Amino acid sequence: MTPTGTTTVIDDIGLLVTNDPEIGEGPLGVVRDASVVIADDTVESVGPRGQAADRRIDAGGACVLPGFVDSHTHLVFAGDRAEEFTSRMAGKPYDGGGIRVTTEATRAASDAQLRALTRSRLAEAHRAGTTTIEIKSGYGLSVDHEVRCLRIAAEHTSETTFLGAHLVPAELDGRADEYVDLVCGEMLDAAAPHARWIDAFCETGAFSAEQSRRVLEAGKAAGLGLRLHANQLGPGPGVLLAVEMGCASVDHCTHLDDDDIAALAGSDTVATFLPATDFSTRQPYPDARRALDAGVKIAIATNCNPGSSYTTSISFCVALAVRDMGLTIEEAIAAVTSGGASALRRADIGRLTPGAAGHAVVLDAPTYHDLAYRPGVPLIARTIGPLAD
């Protein structure tokens, strides 16, 4: 982070993505041979190479992008589920039931252990180019444990999401409505001061549309913004519910029908795709091409969690989106920068333009195409700016 009062220039940028078509070429607003001056973590100017500042970061002719915005993670958890992954690769389908396994491990971890695990995943995400991250609770599933997870998340990001309605905990098995009462009452009262958003897992086997609606309505009444997990494991009512409720984002959207796409296209709800999840659970990839062509606003995020998507790599998600979801590389880059910002209803991140946050990624590559063209290669040379905000 730049100390207050000093300016930093990222100089000798071969190819700069600003995400502002008024500043540069094409939808990504690309500028060649550029430099960016940052003052107090805010972009002061975008200009040709050689702008002056107190401190200089040499991009060495490489490509520079806005820092990645990872708008969907479940980063606060303990334990792993490598065995579940292995049996999935041998043919066992994913059904979300492992959430209880992670809940048990998370409840058993001390505060210090949970903090250390979260910190190390955050450091990994930052090294991978993420400068803003959303973190959900959802592996506590009791009043005290949900609040503990949110408190730990809030030590690192203002984008915290209360996901008490992730799954009914084992001790209330078969009593989903009773658990929803708890989520909408005592748990929400305790969680709301530590959360910006509320979310629910609207899916067969998790929560019904009616139960999810109750959770969203209660969250809205408590002043939280709305997001929803929907249409992950099969078609369902979640996308239409998210649009009707004015959610900022509906996440997964692996199964979208014509009505879902029409509703999303006529709304401000962002469809957030999580391709690393479809990869790790052997689900089909969503038809993102069709959604984009219909005018749906999209984002792409990692969904980092120990069950369905244990990765912090936005680059990996970009490669999947281009290879398997029919997006152009430009559309995929937009989805992990300005798209992620829209999914969080943020105008200050996801672009490198005067007044925006000075969060940037310097690639070890001349162009952003390499993020899809050279999958699995660590191409993030440097991440500039906070992950914590």
Nearer to ligand NIG, 153 or 379 (CB): 153
Q: Is the dihedral of CA 71, 206, 86, 278 positive or negative?
A: negative
Question: Does residue 338 bind ligand NIG (CB under 6 A)?
Answer: no
Q: Is 350 in the site for ligand NIG (CB under 6 A)?
A: no
Residue number closest to ligand NIG, CB atom: 307
Number of Cβ within a 10 Å radius of residue 240 = 19
Q: Report if residue 305 touches ligand NIG, rule: CB under 6 A.
A: yes
Q: Residue 95 Cβ, how far from ligand NIG at the closest point, in Å?
A: 9
Our CB check for ligand NIG shows the closer of 98 and 350 to be 98
**12 phi-psi bin (left φ>0, alpha ψ -120 to 50, beta other):** left
Minimum CB–partner distance for residue 244 and ligand NIG (Å): 21
Binding range to ligand NIG, per CB under 6 A, among 40-48, 173-181, 305-313, 338-346 = 305-313
Site for ligand NIG in 51-90 (CB under 6 A): 74
> Smallest distance from the beta carbon of 277 to ligand NIG, in angstroms?
5
- What CA–CA distance (Å, rounded) separates 266 from 174? 37
Residues 7 and 320 sit within 8 Å (Cβ to Cβ): no
Question: In whole angstroms, what is the distance from residue 149 CA to residue 136 CA?
Answer: 8
Alpha-carbon distance of 381 to 63, in angstroms, equals: 10
Q: Which member of 71, 208, 303, 337 binds ligand NIG (CB under 6 A)?
A: 303
Contacting ligand NIG within 200-259 (CB under 6 A): 201, 229, 232
Please name the helix (run of DSSP H) or strand (run of DSSP E) that holds residue 272, with its range, or none.
strand 270-273
Segment lying near ligand NIG (by CB under 6 A), choices 45-53, 93-101, 109-117, 341-349: 93-101
For ligand NIG, the closer CB: 145 or 359: 145
> Is the Cβ of residue 68 or residue 85 nearer to ligand NIG in the bound state?
85
The single-letter code of the amino acid at 311 is T
Structure tokens at 56: 């200089």
- Compute the C-alpha angle 152/130/202, nearest 5°: 65
The DSSP code for 170 is G
**Segment near ligand NIG (CB under 6 A); pick from 43-51, 209-217, 300-308, 325-333:** 300-308
Total of chain residues touching ligand NIG, rule CB under 6 A = 14
Long-range contacts of 54-58 (CB under 8 A, 24+ apart): 54/6, 54/7, 54/8, 55/2, 55/6, 55/7, 55/8, 55/9, 56/8, 56/9, 56/11, 57/8, 57/9, 57/10, 57/11, 57/362, 57/382, 57/384, 58/11, 58/12
The stretch among 20-28, 143-151, 304-312, 361-369 that binds ligand NIG (CB under 6 A) is: 304-312
Residues that bind ligand NIG (CB under 6 A): 74, 96, 98-99, 102, 201, 229, 232, 277, 303, 305-308
